[in-house]
Amino acid sequence: MAIRSIFAASLSLLLVACGAGGNESGPATTQSATPVVPATGMVNVYSARHYDSDRVIFDQFTRETGIKVNLLEAESEQLIQRLVSEAEFSPADVLMTVDAGRLWRAVEADVFQPIENETLSSRVPESFRDTEGKWWGITKRARVIVYNKADGAPEGITTYEDLADPSLAGQICMRSSTNIYNISLLASIIERDGLEAAEAWASGVVANFARPPQGNDTSILESIAAGECKIGLANTYYIARYAGASNPAMRSVYDNVGIIFPNQDTSGTHVNVSGIGLTQYAKNPDNAIALLEFLTRPDIQTKFSSGNNEYPVNPEAATADQVAELGDFREDDLHVVALGTNQTDAVKVFDRAGWR
């Protein structure tokens, strides 16, 4: 009991330290002065999603159910390692993070327990949830080709594979190979085309770099809009932020880039997820499952889309206007678990290709 009390007290300090910019929005808090201990009427969330819009959704959950959400935010790897270290003393009831590759890492670290739940199964398509019910997708995003609109769409470039075409030499801007979005994309190529083809692709893209890999999706978009490079990759929710912006400078970035949804005539466009799962040692499992059901409800799924410009995973939910504005596309139907199982090979392929 002494160990538990000490841990609970230390966690309350971490809730203050890990707050996202000190913003508070009612019942969903990152700055609680009250130690987080097992109790009826609360659910403790470890989240690698740092969005104010998520807090608004948690607040609604509290208003509807009376269950208080205690929110601790940090990076995915920090949270996974924290759960491993805390083991049975962890106060966390759920872990929420982005990218199927990171969710796979959490499964490998054995921080989740499986859920059998008809409501979740009916709302989350099979390809966007763990095969054993250890995590469930809550939002999705596509990784698309972006080009400078003034230069026009590169001729003949319609697939991810086309980015290795020598005609694009000196034109491509990319993020680092350590970026999980790129790792997951390459993992999908490995699953579809095999290791040899994936390595040839990565080497071809490296040969086409306009500059060494750098920045994030936002800086890639701005570089392409400014004409510093002609083509690159970005997740749709970054693009939709610019599409829905009232700031003229941001809207100008959107107006200066064009979008290609790749592989429409082959495998479909690569799609990834944010997901959530019940932790191995959850002290409030019923409240946690109630939260998972709430987050997959159609109206809440639409709020996710509006709040962070993502696509709902629940097919019954509406997509926000600024996201729908990007256009319709056919998704890759690859089960996203493959993005994790091929992750190690993807990292090795990037290293051999010289993609830093």
Prediction pTM value? 0.86
Dihedral sign for Cα 22, 28, 34, 35, please.
Answer: negative
CATH architecture assignment, domain 141-270+329-353? 3-Layer(aba) Sandwich (3.40)
Q: What's the token pair of residue 46? A: 């470890």
* Burial tier of 2 (Cβ tally within 10 Å: 0-12, 13-18, 19+): exposed
Question: Residues, the chain, total?
Answer: 356
Give the whole-number percent of the chain exceeding pLDDT 70.
89
Give the whole-number percent of the chain exceeding pLDDT 90.
88
Q: Using CA atoms in the order 14, 9, 93, 110, what is the torsion angle rounded to 10 degrees?
A: 80
Residue range 304-340, pLDDT digits in tens: 999 999 999 999 999 999 999 999 999 999 999 999 9
For tokens 């607040």, the residue is 59
Question: Is the CB of residue 165 less than 8 Å from the CB of residue 231?
Answer: no
Query: Which residues make up the CATH 3.40.190.10 domain(s) of the chain?
Result: 2-140+273-324, 141-270+329-353
pLDDT at 23 over 90: no
**pLDDT (0 to 100) of residue 40:** 53
pLDDT at 6 over 80: no
At 45, the amino acid letter reads V
Question: Is the CB of residue 14 less than 8 Å from the CB of residue 267?
Answer: no
- pLDDT-derived band of residue 187, with 50, 70 and 90 as boundaries? very high
Which residues fall within 8 angstroms of residue 292, CB to CB, at 6 or more apart? 94, 115, 117, 120, 136, 276, 278
Residue range 148-174, pLDDT digits in tens: 999 999 999 999 999 999 999 999 999
* Fold exhibited by the domain 2-140+273-324: D-Maltodextrin-Binding Protein; domain 2 (3.40.190)
- pLDDT-derived band of residue 11, with 50, 70 and 90 as boundaries? very low
Question: Is the CB of residue 345 less than 8 Å from the CB of residue 196?
Answer: no
pLDDT at 77 over 50: yes
Distance CA 320, CA 309 (A): 7
Q: Of the candidates 51, 159, 120, which has an alpha carbon nearest to the alpha carbon of residue 314? A: 120
- pLDDT-derived band of residue 21, with 50, 70 and 90 as boundaries? very low
Mean pLDDT across 105-126: 97
- pLDDT-derived band of residue 18, with 50, 70 and 90 as boundaries? very low
Distance CA 352, CA 356 (A): 10
Residue range 266-277, pLDDT digits in tens: 999 999 999 999
Arithmetic mean of pLDDT over the chain: 90
If one compares 330 and 8, the residue with the highest pLDDT of the two is 330
pLDDT at 52 over 50: yes
pLDDT at 68 over 90: yes
Distance CA 142, CA 44 (A): 29
Distance CA 232, CA 96 (A): 28
DSSP secondary structure letters along 119-180: HHHHHS-GGGB-TTSS-EEEEEEEEEEEEETTT-PPTT--SSGGGG-GGGTT-EE---TTSH
